[in-house]
Structure 1
């Protein structure tokens, strides 16, 4: 499905989506460059941030290039194999985002609640192990849902009510009984969606409990400033994600669901680098030094 059938709007949509995609990719690449080039940023928090930026690039690249090409070629056709490939990549990188945000919340929890043991708990071996665990869980999530999609034997229609292949929209095309498929999908959603969110909520509950015990308001503000960027990204990621799932509600039109999906897949990865660069002095100063070095 396209965002508009009006031919006069196609060049505008092409320029808009291409610009948003390039900003998202370049912004996240700058975060990765800043973290890798500055030895002061070789800490667990920025290690996970650079991997989050890499996952954001993959997340937005799983949908937007195809959308831009479709607008340019005036074609909205996607093959069955390409649809499953896009579905798998979207689920993998989306789950990676969720897992890394959870790991970053745990990192902030250890840093604030157990500062004396932080270097021991969040050592390089633990960080790489958490990253590998995130990759493994993301692969498992994407392949389980991809396997569910592969069970679709026939279709009621060939039209997908979105600008990319989503699991729920793909399963809606099946003319066979989808009860088992829906059960599997919801179970996977609970395991790989609800549990990470619970981990983030628990981490911030503990963080807030510790911050409230700090007598100085300046001390509380300084401690919470290390979490503000991450918390902003979490709210943006899950807030737009909830909007996407609400878009599958019958009371929502397909185009409203597409706008929600656009916020989730394009706007969030595009804004993440700005949030971290504007609200993080270490990243900002490193980017400024890189700018002057290039000049």
Structure 2
């Protein structure tokens, strides 16, 4: 039963890692990976000498931290709220509605966002004008861009993210709640002393995994939402790599960035895992 999963990771995850050699070569499409000349660390030097590297690295870290802080807590909060619902048909209905947006593509989500925030025809802009205000071009405003990213990400993924916590909540032994009731604990005390400790390990594990992807700020969403007016706050490492690698055909530099991101992610995961062990929480290994 494990064979299909193992083959998937070998073919699509470990096999392509051979291409990491491109990061150390002056890659030429005609010569191929093995025929291209070695460039040593020149591609990495090009990355760190780029005038855009500070901006893209800063934007990537800020957006990723926003996602960690503002995405994990809504997932947990929604799961806790759903767990308190005793009417099963109502619980299933709310859960289905909440995780439905997860299956929409970011193109569709952008279309919905545009219908609300467009400066001329957007519903919110029209409402502002009806109350005597001046419409704001939210989608091209550096002040609002990151807030729009996080808000749409929460709307799209919170319901689906809550499923993991609901599974963890279902695994809590009901006898613990019975013992808490015998001891005189109300709903809030049960939440604090039984429910939250029951999901703490899952929360820590998900946090470790998210820290490992801190240099992945959500390429698909950012690429669809951003524009030239918000480059200063929206241009992340992945969008810079896309322009450099696919638009300028500089595959060596693009691969070097991917290698750098993977190396940093590995260090962060190992560090976060050791910290979780020291704090007495569950860890990946």
TM-score by length of 1: 0.29
TM-score by length of 2: 0.30
Larger radius of gyration: 2
- Looking at secondary structure, tell me which structure has more helix per residue: 1
